[in-house]
């Protein structure tokens, strides 16, 4: 059994090695990241198809639905992230099934997800991803690539509303979708007079949370408010500072506000944006 796994890993590595490296000099981090990821699960990646872009590697498992994600979509998402945050390199993994996605994502849950970001790669949940519209696919890819670019997987101390809200801010920026469309669940609550009193916290973003869509919408609108009111650059600076100092200190330094003050302004913004 063990020997077989090693042979399988070697076969895959030959496939990875045969992918042409980019013209740029220096260590090929994309290739080494891909090899590392492939070695962890040879049972999933044997016979995988690999496509290389300038700054992206797309690895599609044998048996994955054809055209689940294209390199073109990944590169469009990379440009969207680069325009706000900066360049991002990424390996995108497309397993053949939800079960395989769950193996790759563990201990994170994949239930109800279309894709997940880890430190240097994105895992596509092929069943969830296939349900998305073309615009939805682009939003999700951009969202997850923002997480990779900002190192979200290593930012356990940051406020979740900022981590998820920022990823959605970049994700929806050029989607052409309107606020009531994006924040449909929250709009329904606000229209009936229920304006949330607190920014969403970590537990609100757990899989299976009863107000999960609203938590994302609330976080997105908090970041959108900051970008509209202070400018996008300040939102980016806030995020960078929050990674170093924590969210509360960054809010004080960059916006001159406490979380309580921001929450008040955000609630007024929700009412203004979502009430007919």
Residue 113 interacting with Zn ion (CB under 5 A): no
Q: How far apart are CA 35 and CA 254, in angstroms?
A: 40
Q: Is 145 in the site for Zn ion (CB under 5 A)?
A: no
CA distance readout (Å), 210 to 57, 127, 169, 183? 35, 22, 22, 16
Q: Which of 183, 176, 187 is nearest to 133 (CA)?
A: 176
Interface with Zn ion in residues 80-99 (CB under 5 A): none
Asked if residue 114 binds Zn ion (CB under 5 A), the reply is no
* Closest-CA residue to 150 (of 219, 81, 47): 81
Query: Shortest distance, CB of residue 216 to Zn ion, whole angstroms?
Result: 8
Token pair 């500072």 is found at 241
Contact between 242 and Zn ion per CB under 5 A: no
Q: With contact defined as beta carbons under 8 Å apart, do 201 and 263 qualify?
A: no
116 binding Zn ion? (CB under 5 A): no
Q: Which is nearer to Zn ion, 167 or 199 (CB)?
A: 167
122 binds Zn ion (CB under 5 A): no
Can you tell me the distance from the alpha carbon of 169 to that of 235, in angstroms, rounded to the nearest whole number?
A: 10
Q: Which stretch binds Zn ion (CB under 5 A): 28-36, 62-70, 167-175, 182-190?
A: 167-175
Smallest separation (angstroms) from Zn ion to the CB of 163: 7
Asked if 105 touches Zn ion (CB under 5 A), the answer is: no
Q: How far is the CB of 175 from Zn ion (least distance, A)?
A: 15
Residue 16 vs 113, nearer CB to Zn ion: 113
Which of 81, 105, 113, 167 is close enough to bind Zn ion by CB under 5 A?
167
- Do 199 and 259 form a contact (C-beta atoms < 8 A)? yes
Tell me whether residue 143 or residue 267 sits nearer to Zn ion (CB atom): 143
Q: Which helix (H) or strand (E) holds 219?
A: helix 212-230
- Considering only the stretches 25-33, 156-164, 218-226, 235-243, report the one whose residues sit in contact with Zn ion under the rule CB under 5 A: 156-164
Of all residues in the shown chain, the one whose CB is closest to Zn ion is: 167
For the beta carbon of residue 228, count every other beta carbon within 10 angstroms: 13
- Give the Cα separation of 10 and 7 in Å (integer): 5
DSSP-derived 3-state class of residue 202: helix
Q: Is 30 in the site for Zn ion (CB under 5 A)?
A: no
Complex with Zn ion: residue 167 or 227, whichever CB lies closer: 167
- Residue number, 110 or 167, with CB nearest to Zn ion: 167
User: How does strand 56-60 pair with strand 121-124?
Assistant: unpaired
Residue ranges that bind Zn ion, judged by CB under 5 A = 164, 167
């Amino acid at each position: 059994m063990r020997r077989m796994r090693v042979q399988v890993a070697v076969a895959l590595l030959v496939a990875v090695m045969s992918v042409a490296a980019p013209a740029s000099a220096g260590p090929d981090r994309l290739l080494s990241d891909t090899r590392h990821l492939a070695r962890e699960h040879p049972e999933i990646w044997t016979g995988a198809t690999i496509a290389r872009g300038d700054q992206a590697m797309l690895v599609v498992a044998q048996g994955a639905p054809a055209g689940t994600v294209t390199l073109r979509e990944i590169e469009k998402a990379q440009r969207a992230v680069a325009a706000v945050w900066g360049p991002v390199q990424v390996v995108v993994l497309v397993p053949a099934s939800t079960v395989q996605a769950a193996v790759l994502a563990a201990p994170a849950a994949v239930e109800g997800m279309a894709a997940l970001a880890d430190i240097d790669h994105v895992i596509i949940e092929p069943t969830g991803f296939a349900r998305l519209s073309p615009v939805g696919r682009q939003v999700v890819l951009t969202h997850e690539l923002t997480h990779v670019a900002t190192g979200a997987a290593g930012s356990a101390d940051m406020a979740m509303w900022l981590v998820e809200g920022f990823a959605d801010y970049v994700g929806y920026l050029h989607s052409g979708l309107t606020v009531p469309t994006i924040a449909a669940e929250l709009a329904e609550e606000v229209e009936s007079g229920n304006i949330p009193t607190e920014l969403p916290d970590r537990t609100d973003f757990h899989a299976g949370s009863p107000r999960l869509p609203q938590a994302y919408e609330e976080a997105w609108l908090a970041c959108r408010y900051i970008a509209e009111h202070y400018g996008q650059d300040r939102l980016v600076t806030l995020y960078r500072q929050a990674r170093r100092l924590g969210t509360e200190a960054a809010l004080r330094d960059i916006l001159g506000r406490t979380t309580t003050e921001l929450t008040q302004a955000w609630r007024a913004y929700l009412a203004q944006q979502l009430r007919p």
